[in-house]
Amino acid sequence: MAGATWTTAGRAGQALSFDGVNDRININDSASLDLIGGMTLEAWVYPTALSGWHTVIMKERTGGLVYALYAHDNAPRPAVYIRVGSVDVEVAGISPLSLNA
């Protein structure tokens, strides 16, 4: 954990709070995190500001991403990106997430 802090103001008790700049949780690579047949990426988020890219979940590879879930993808909207072959495929929401909710 780098920079994030625990809070009791989570949806169901404790939660992690991120500053939106450089806080993160790093998880070592594992074959169980590879997309083989399918995977559900899900998170409760409580954005207090949205601009630029706000990453919720990301699995990286050398030179880019494998898959990512964004609360805001600079468009502005929530989106998921997945690397298929040599192309990043995107599925995006049609409106931004609500702030402070």
3-state secondary structure the chain: CECCEEEEEECCEEEEECCCCCCECCCCCCHHHCCCCCCCCCCCCCCCCCCCEEEEEEEEECCEEEEEEEEEECCCCCEEEEEECCEEEEEECCCCCCCCC
Structurally, how many domains does the chain consist of?
1
Domain assignment of residue 33, yes or no = no
Which residue, among 54, 60, 100, 98, has the nearest Cα to 79 in the 3D structure?
A: 54
pLDDT digits (tens, 9 = 90+) for 15-26: 888 877 788 888
- What pLDDT, on a 0 to 100 scale, did the predictor assign at position 48? 83
Q: What is the pTM of this model?
A: 0.76
Specify the length of the chain in residues.
Answer: 101
Domain assignment of residue 68, yes or no = yes
- What pLDDT, on a 0 to 100 scale, did the predictor assign at position 60? 86
Q: What is the pLDDT averaged over residues 27-36? A: 81
Domain around 61: 5-28+41-92
Domain assignment of residue 77, yes or no = yes
